[in-house]
Chain A
């Protein structure tokens, strides 16, 4: 779907998406459907194993029921460089609960047939390389994952993994940052599979009160580069900001720290974590569809 014709301005992303839908990955299909419906994808992030994998399992189902279109599932890591305090703390709790990549995949496999939306695994390089790229991708695909996001694996390091992932039917999603120069942005957009992940802030993940207005320009620039959908993440704190990025033309809104915080507060207050996740997701859905 990333062919030369896509660079000409008169080919809309819809035309190209339709043309490619037959061989499309689950993530591409989902974005194509949403595009046809004129909707913006809602992609919640949650940390697997926070506070324990059984809760993650029921939360995933609650998120789908509440209108999530895709889910980004974090595999906890001891040294999460791209994460702010909220997700760092979630990773620490998950590791304290003995969460391992193997157990995360096992939980995901147990959802096959129940969870129908695409799941994108968010993992740092080291746990992935430790397992081996080939083995990790094979096991992730067997567990039903649709894609991978590796926040500390930039374009220069990503080629090998992208090919291996593709061999197992997984999309390796690459990230673009506000600091990325235009020429590099074009190369990333051309190499990213499934969608391009636009990091909305110069910074780590976290809840922020406003989204920088330069994100609007970045979405426009990325969309002009080709048909690959653009999802915006890092710092979307609630329904209003989700709607804001939709209005700026993003194909998807990724909500991580805000959801992780809602879940942690529910857990701390002895409430049903999955139900709280579902409620928050429902509010985001309503805002995006309004």
Chain B
């Protein structure tokens, strides 16, 4: 155990009106001061079209039936809520401890939560008559999910990926190519997720009349943060019902990793108005927040604009966006979804950060105790349990979003652990 102890929840003091759905976002696409549409004029009509198409789709039983059918039979939902008995035992104190449950998004088709959104947006693209799909990807999980649904529906697919991330996530690059997608390396800037996102937006500005952009996180201009959240809300909706079945009440604490924040938002969303449920997001502290080499946007960022939204942002004193650092390509992003900035600012959700080393330890712990290799992104959520669990009363029910599996990260982990692993 190191550094800070998380604060005890005080979300009960939050103004209920601020938690209403109509405030997240409001009619202008804002979550408080956050969100909005800071994009070139060329895209504004496409964003309006997308918002309209999404509203019509959600109101159309044929759309929701098709989505639910595919979520069940193609994705494999519902994903289990699994009681992690040995992990629970690990954090047990003499007087007892919290009980830890895992929401198994790693068991979805393609191995992560990302497919929920990719599938939903692909169905929207079909409704809008757009036959070409673009996406950005960091760890490659969203790229693989997008390539997968494009193959499934016969759509052209181009995935923008930072050259550095292509190196780190070579397996996922191959998977995308196998699925028929073109993976476009991005060498600009830091050659990571931020630059891949910029390049995807530039492609969209250029080809907006033929192309839909399947943005992979709860980031970007309105309506993307809302749209992506709504497609991932199935995670929280299922968890809510599964908690009732498993222990007859709502959970006490939800924990999820946050890069852009899509898996966290998907889990949190159906619980936002239940202020007794603590919402905990875990960011990547890289080499440590004090080192300056990190991706802890909510912990360290200031209000700014990146990729079309106002949110918290890692930036220098002149407003230039700073490079983020994380062992996890999916968290290696200097921005964060606007709704997270909002939930943090109004005091509804709490956020912490763990280092690369802490995430690696947590990854190994989950391997050894539960026989599950989590993604490096996901391992950050587990690393926070080290700080969180000792503060929780016996009998506290904790749900951790196991957002993705770690096969893609085995090479990175091997590089870092090398001969430390024996057996």
On A, residues with C-beta under 8 Å from B are 77-79, 81-82, 84, 88, 95, 100-102, 124-131, 151-157, 174-181, 184, 188, 199, 201-204
Contact = CB atoms under 8 A, between A and B. Distances in A.
4 shortest interchain CB distances as A-B pairs: A130-B319, A127-B319, A203-B206, A177-B42
12 contacts: A79-B321, A81-B39, A81-B40, A100-B318, A126-B305, A126-B313, A126-B319, A130-B302, A130-B318, A130-B319, A156-B28, A202-B209
What is the interface residue range for chain B against chain A? 35 or more
Q: Give the residue among A154, A156, A201 with the most B Cβ atoms within 10 A.
A: A154
A82 B319 contact: no
Nearest to B319: A130
Nearest to A136: B319
Given A101-B319, A154-B39, 14 more contacts: A77-B320, A81-B205, A95-B320, A129-B319, A131-B319, A152-B308, A156-B28, A157-B36, A157-B37, A157-B38, A175-B41, A180-B45, A181-B45, A202-B207
Contact of B202 (A84, A100, A181, A184): A84
Contact of B44 (A88, A127, A180): A180
Interface of B: 28, 36-46, 188-189, 194, 198, 201-202, 205-209, 302-308, 310, 313, 315, 317-321
A126 B46 CA distance: 23
B223 to A, nearest CB: 13
Nearest to B302: A130
B45 A81 contact: no
Nearest to A152: B38
A177 B36 contact: no
A81 B304 CA distance: 15
Contacts of A100: 318
A152 B305 contact: yes
Contacts of B38: 125, 152-154, 157
Among B28, B42, B321, the one with the most A-chain Cβ atoms within 10 Å of its Cβ is B42
A134 to B, nearest CB: 15
Contacts of A177: 40-42, 44
Given A152-B39, A153-B38, A179-B42, A125 B305 contact: yes
A125 to B, nearest CB: 4
B205 A154 contact: no
A130 B44 contact: no
B370 to A, nearest CB: 40
Contacts of B46: 179
B209 A79 contact: no
B216 to A, nearest CB: 17
Contacts of A84: 202
Nearest to B40: A82
Contact of A175 (B40, B198, B307, B318): B40
Contacts of A174: 41
Contacts of A102: 318
A157 B309 CA distance: 11
A78 to B, nearest CB: 4
A202 B38 CA distance: 17
Contacts of B315: 126, 130
Contacts of B305: 124-126, 129, 152
Contacts of B189: 78-79
A196 to B, nearest CB: 11
Contact of A79 (B37, B45, B194, B208): B194
A268 to B, nearest CB: 19
